[in-house]
Amino acid sequence: MTRLSAEVIDTFRRDGVVLLEGVFDDWIDTLRQGVDVNLREPGPFGRDYLDEGQAGRFFGDYCNWDRIAEYRAFMFDSPAPEIAAQLMQSDSVRIFHEHVLVKEPGTNKITPWHHDQPYYCVDGKQVCSMWIPLDPVPRETCPEFVAGSHDWGRWFLPRKFSGIDYDHADSRLEPMPDIDAQRANYDIRSWSLQPGDAIAFHYLTVHGAPANLSSSHRRRGFAARWLGDDTVYAKRPGETSPPYPGLDERLQPGDALDTEEFPLVFPSP
């Protein structure tokens, strides 16, 4: 059993982001092995985000937990679902998906500021992502999070990591503010991380990530995304990521996400 302090849970609720130190120490080798498999054998959504001629490598892939044994073991057997239940204050936890992002040394490509829920086919407040570094991450390379942005009541236009906005005809979506031009106006959080740490954040928390300009250090990140009690299916007016083909033929907006794509992992079925 992994019991979080009331302070950690309150920080997640208030700020939409919290550092969890050392909670996955026993799982880093497993996840590294899974990422090695993923890099050798990308799934149907795997891609490299760099343009031709750019240095380094920026690889991303998701929705592979059902074919990569190491990912499946983490999603079902690690303390992560129980931790997510505590952070979300939810009696149940389902898998949404996992997402791997690898920035190799010398990758001069940022991850643009964004938040995740407008990409997703999910409505609800009981949601949680955990970004887990598989390499030491100095603060200057750590993803950055705007504390409190999950409670702004604003939804921003999704943007591809290539820098192109999604084509979403949704009147509530607005352009992302130029956060880098006015950083002093925001409470931006980042940390120096060790493998085994995790950053937990809400799907509406605004975040981005710097380039990896190190000449020798990789930045492998494994993100586990979770659904709580109040989450339901949402039909977005445009592309979603992950796309989950055929889901809209089986679910109506507002339906519970009780399908094989989103298995229950807490409490143990």
Q: Per-residue pLDDT averaged across 117-131, rounded?
A: 97
Q: CB burial class (10 A; 0-12, 13-18, 19+) of residue 153?
A: exposed
Taking residue 8's Cβ as centre, other Cβ atoms within 10 Å add up to 18
- The residue whose two tokens read 């236009």 is 157
Taking residue 260's Cβ as centre, other Cβ atoms within 10 Å add up to 6
**Residues 6 or more apart from 259 whose CB is under 8 A from it?**
247, 250, 251
Q: Mind listing the pLDDT tens digit for each residue in 132-187?
A: 999 999 999 999 999 999 999 999 998 777 666 676 667 788 999 999 999 999 99
> Average model confidence (pLDDT) for the chain?
94
Give a three-class secondary structure readout of 130-166. Answer: EEEECCCECHHHCCEEECCHHHCCCEECCECCCCCEC
Chain centroid to Cα 269, Å, comes to 24
pLDDT at 37 over 70: yes
Q: Tell me which amino acid residue 193 is.
A: L
Tell me how far apart the alpha carbons of residues 88 and 164 are, in angstroms, rounded to a whole number. Answer: 31
Q: Say if CB 154 and CB 116 are below 8 A apart.
A: no
Tell me how far apart the alpha carbons of residues 133 and 19 are, in angstroms, rounded to a whole number. Answer: 12
Tokens representing 142 are 């750590």
Confidence band of 268 (pLDDT split at 50, 70, 90): confident
β-strands 188-189, 144-146: how paired?
antiparallel
Chain centroid to Cα 202, Å, comes to 9
Strand, coil or helix: what is 205? coil
Segment (H or E) for 112: strand 111-114
Tell me how far apart the alpha carbons of residues 125 and 246 are, in angstroms, rounded to a whole number. Answer: 24
Taking residue 194's Cβ as centre, other Cβ atoms within 10 Å add up to 14
Q: Say if CB 64 and CB 197 are below 8 A apart.
A: no
pLDDT at 251 over 70: yes
Strand, coil or helix: what is 173? strand
DSSP conformational letter for 35: H
Provide, rounded to the nearest whole percent, the portion of the chain with pLDDT above 70.
97
Q: Mind listing the pLDDT tens digit for each residue in 197-240?
A: 999 999 999 999 999 999 889 999 999 999 999 999 999 888 88
Q: Mind listing the pLDDT tens digit for each residue in 84-116?
A: 999 999 999 999 999 999 999 999 989 999 999
Gyration radius of the chain's alpha carbons: 17
Strand, coil or helix: what is 267? coil
